[in-house]
Chains A and B, each alone.
Chain A
């Protein structure tokens, strides 16, 4: 029997083995930096480009905020202008959504050009999954936005993750807040809204989110309040909750 030191060494070796098994191609051009040091550190040096990422709302009423944060991540993942102008593939279910359909003029707030989004109306979750996979296989798109159907099992999730990896194209899935099913996603976020910031004329300027990184493969979890800058198309940390928060405005 090995002593305490031996045991320590073995655990370390196992850890390395696990890290190796979990590691995925992490070349610099295939990693997306959110540009927030604290978050990028938790993400194990950025968000993998060719990977599956899931965003869930904290509760039913936070679904719009979760979608907003998901779109912010999508915009950050898109290649900078000048390198072609590839499209985003967005399959959606035919049936009604709790808060309605994405509104093209509203997408621009998150830096997405509505003409560069190809929506695919799907009758079933299976069709939606198929459309996402085919999009990754055939290429010609820069990112995939989708909804994680309740029926998506680990196998389907792994297939999608693999397809994303092979295509070096990110897939951002909106996950139902009650969904606790297993997933092959490399990151999982949970989002609720936070009071927005205002400009000097007291007009709403930047949307803010309370974001929890619940899982990051090879990384750490964390919790932040992030602010989407709709001019710079970037996220940054909000210094503290409550600076320029709702209370002040009401008092004003």
Chain B
């Protein structure tokens, strides 16, 4: 706020027609137009609405963001698109622009758009050009922006006002001037903006959506809302991606499906996979389970009119996949991997686990739980019988009587005394000295009490006064 009091943050078309503009002092404006209706500006909500709109606009190009990122003035932001490689999907630049503006109009927005080879020129012409649709041919940026006011260059109001005072009203007036004195008088920014608008200096923006290595999208002739149609669309989109993934030796590990509602809302569904896949049926089934879970919340409104699939993570996947589909083992394997992915999508893939053996004889280290996508075989060799349950930490047992150099005859664990009726052992397990030097040799015994309860006990350290006993596991 340059001077005290309230200012207009934005005006609608009727107010603009009366000569009002953003930045005017509210008190002055009220005096001129007593019937003026105002609402408090809500820049955060404006911003949020713009982000939402940008999300919806990813149907035209995945690379879109509200722009300029920093508002020089409230409500001055628009949306910037990088349409490289997208226009052909719509039948050319002109068709893309027309479709985008018409779609926004259907949502109730008045939109003006410009396609140009520099962000600065596109912004200047869309905002100040006065036409709803402008396409600047390559290399014609200077001619196109010459008639525009200098404020179209995204320079501070003060600079623009000074330039106007000096009679430099349009960009065309600035173009012939030598850059060095201009920079000296008005700062480096003005020259930078000119260079950016003319495409002499590069400029970039951060798209709202992170980069996805593989994506496919489709705009539908008729809005859809039935789940089966959504799944059909999903299948079609993934079928487009599968050959590309295969060519690159990749498979999808994470996918996001974005559905664009007619009224400007977007719905996103994400799935993660335990193993990379190019199997459309598998992907469709997972999305269908996701949709089943959403059935209450999924609001199709008047329907979805476009969809996109992004492969947000792709991993290497060997080209061989020609397993014998008739094999019942293969079929149940397929079902299982679907189940693993489905459980993982809700509970986290890190919680769907399989036990893997580890090459160690230290019992508590011999097993590790890892995500279930991987399988390690447990060899069939004759191992000693191990307890069914292992305590997370070995618990001290108070041994009351002991066979010399042997198993306990009586012990107390968790405040319950046990009479040992039968014992087997010892099985001596030495510490892995390369891992830790603190541990001592353990002598394990399997002991059974009079009722048939069996425990796996060990004596820590050699027999003697400092030997301590622990219960490590329980048999069934």
Contact = CB atoms under 8 A, between A and B. Distances in A.
Interface of A: 61, 64-65, 67-69, 71, 83-87, 89, 96-97, 99-110, 113-115, 117-123, 127, 130-131, 134-135, 138-141, 192-196, 198, 203-204, 207-208, 230, 246-247, 249-250
Residue of B335, B355, B372, B416 with most chain A CB atoms under a 10 A cut-off: B355
B354 interface: yes
Interface stretch (B40-48, B166-174, B199-207, B448-456): B448-456
Nearest to B393: A100
Interface of B: 289, 328-329, 331-340, 342-343, 346-347, 351-357, 363, 366-367, 369, 372, 375-378, 383, 385-392, 416, 421-422, 424, 446, 448-454, 473-476
Contacts, number: 196
A195 B336 contact: no
Contacts of A102: 388-389
B224 to A, nearest CB: 26
Given A67-B476, A193-B453, A249-B422, A103 B340 contact: no
Main secondary structure of the interface of A (DSSP, over half): mixed
15 contacts: A64-B389, A101-B389, A101-B390, A102-B388, A104-B378, A105-B367, A107-B388, A109-B476, A110-B476, A115-B378, A120-B353, A131-B347, A134-B289, A193-B451, A204-B454
A110 B266 CA distance: 52
Contacts of A138: 289, 335, 338-339, 342
Given A64-B388, A134-B289, A193-B451, 18 more contacts: A100-B390, A103-B386, A114-B354, A114-B357, A117-B354, A118-B352, A120-B353, A135-B339, A140-B335, A193-B452, A196-B452, A204-B385, A204-B422, A204-B454, A207-B475, A207-B476, A249-B422, A250-B421
Residue of A68, A100, A117, A120 with most chain B CB atoms under a 10 A cut-off: A100
Contacts of A130: 346
A246 B421 contact: yes
A84 B307 CA distance: 39
Contact of A105 (B329, B366, B421, B448): B366
Contact of A139 (B335, B351, B416, B424): B335
Q: 7 closest Cβ contacts across the A-B interface? A: A68-B476, A140-B335, A246-B421, A104-B355, A140-B336, A193-B452, A105-B386
Contacts of B450: 195, 246
A168 B86 CA distance: 51
Contacts of A86: 332, 336
